[in-house]
Amino acid sequence: MDELKIEIKNLTKSFMGGEGEVKAIENLNLSIKENEFTVLVGPSGCGKSTLLYMLAGFEKPTSGSILLDNQIIKGPGPDRGFVFQDFVLYPWKTVVRNISFGLEIQGFSQKEAIEKAKQKINLLGLQGFENAYPHTLSGGMKQRVGIARALAYNPKVLLMDEPFGSLDAQTRKLMQEELLRIWNKEKKTVVFVTHSVIEAVFLADRVVVLTDRPSRVKGIIDIHLDRPRDYEHTYTDERYIELREKVLNILKDEVIHHKQHYESV
């Protein structure tokens, strides 16, 4: 995990709002190594998802650049898979067809696409639900389908925008452990956005704390905890508790600043 995978250089993103230009991100710099699990945390509305959307190529920088394997990202591509907070599944398609649909658009035959989809169904523990429709699935199962779909075409980078935010606490813990199992097997570079410091420290190799808007990197904390991780052992590890408090302390000032700013508006 030494090779540089993603490099963000002097990144700025502005939007036009009702009162003029709004800077979401300003002069943000960050490097991410290959196969690294990087988690972004920061105050609500600080630009975490905006940054992830630019990594995906859904949004373009106002200035600065994002490089993937030394190539500037100019738009979406199959080298990046995206998992949304909302499940974003096609309600009229079965599980296997939700996963295979994107592969067919990319030029795979239906037979090849379904075969690849079934491989990810097995990886995500969705066996027996191949022909189920989304409305029959629990939240956790729906998000498994979303992850399987993102992994189906073997992207280099997996981008995840609060994928477990809408799940109940028990399902969320289960899905976090499942994600680490899959990541350990697939060896992807992951950039994961969350509001939860508990989740961030449990999952990450590095936690990146962003400032209030306009967002910059305030601090980066290396998470030197043993892998594989599970809640039973990791939660009681003194190193985990210390790292969690360290992230919270760095984040606290930015959350206070965010609250004061919006109370004064």
**Domain regions of the chain by residue span:** 4-79+156-264, 91-154
Q: Would you state the pLDDT for residue 44?
A: 85
Helices (H), 57-137: 95-105, 110-123
φ, ψ of residue 139 in degrees (nearest 5): -60, -45
Q: Half-sphere exposure of 240 toward its Cβ, with a 13 Å CA cutoff?
A: 20
What mean pLDDT value characterizes the chain? 91
pLDDT of residue 264: 42
Share of the chain above pLDDT 90, in %: 78
Average confidence (pLDDT) over 159-184: 92
Say if strands 157-161 and 80-83 run parallel, antiparallel, or are unpaired: parallel
- pLDDT score at 2: 67
pLDDT of residue 107: 87
* pLDDT score recorded for residue 256: 64
Helices and strands of the chain, counted as H and E runs:
8, 10
Q: What's the CATH architecture for 4-79+156-264?
A: 3-Layer(aba) Sandwich (3.40)
The reported pTM is 0.91
**In contact, 123 and 148? CB cutoff 8 Å:** yes
**pLDDT, tens digit, 9 for 90 and up, residues 22-37:** 899 999 999 999 999 9
Going by pLDDT thresholds of 50, 70 and 90, the confidence category of residue 200 is very high
